[in-house]
Amino acid sequence: MLTQDEIKQQLGIYAADFIKNDMLIGLGTGTTVYYLLKELGKRKQQGLTFTAVCTSLQTQDILKAEDMDFISLDDVDRLQLAIDGADEVDKNGSLIKGGGGALLQEKIVEAAADELIIIVDEKKNVEMLGAFPLPVEVITFGWKQVKQKIESTYNIETRLREKDGKVYLTDHRHYILDCFFNTIPNPEQLNTDLHLMPGVVETGLFVGMANKIITGHSDGSITVRNI
């Protein structure tokens, strides 16, 4: 049986096969995508050519370390492909993302891609979203008002994200509220409703965006689900 890290490494190598010479690609953020980035570094040394747009400063740092170039999304019209991980994937291919804090830039980059491939280990596949706390990115001004509004509207607990004993700031200098919905029966409606709250920048609900879900299993198998 493979460990979780071994599954992620296998997924990274498998996903790298979708990237062909001279493609414009978006590269995600997180522990699963880390192995994809490492594999792409090896393949670049072997002659693979591509142009990358990053979804976070963390991803940029890894590309720099692997001697890979990247450009701004503003330098391109469309991306041919984006590959990223997810915190949860439901039966319809809706996602919760943002556990790593990069949800805003991830959504912008991935909305600009003709195809979005999500790579996850088997534990991320769920019948219904919500067990993983939903990240909601908010501006720092008046964040308590947004917190109170979400809690009172949905009768749930929310928590201001912290890291290393300090309030966590995203790459774009926002806060994140982790929202404990437990179950999200209608992700599309919830995403719309949260966006209507003043102060909300983005949600971790990615609905109708993924085209392909690639799942790695502990027995070493990989399954592909087209959405």
Residues with active-site annotation: 106
Q: How far is CA 102 from CA 11, 14, 22, 96, 173, in A?
A: 20, 23, 26, 12, 11
- Evaluate whether 84 touches 106 at the Cβ level (below 8 Å): yes
Structure tokens at 19: 């990237």
Structure tokens at 70: 């990247």
Query: What is the per-residue DSSP string for 36-58?
Result: HHHHHHHHHHTT--EEEEESSHH
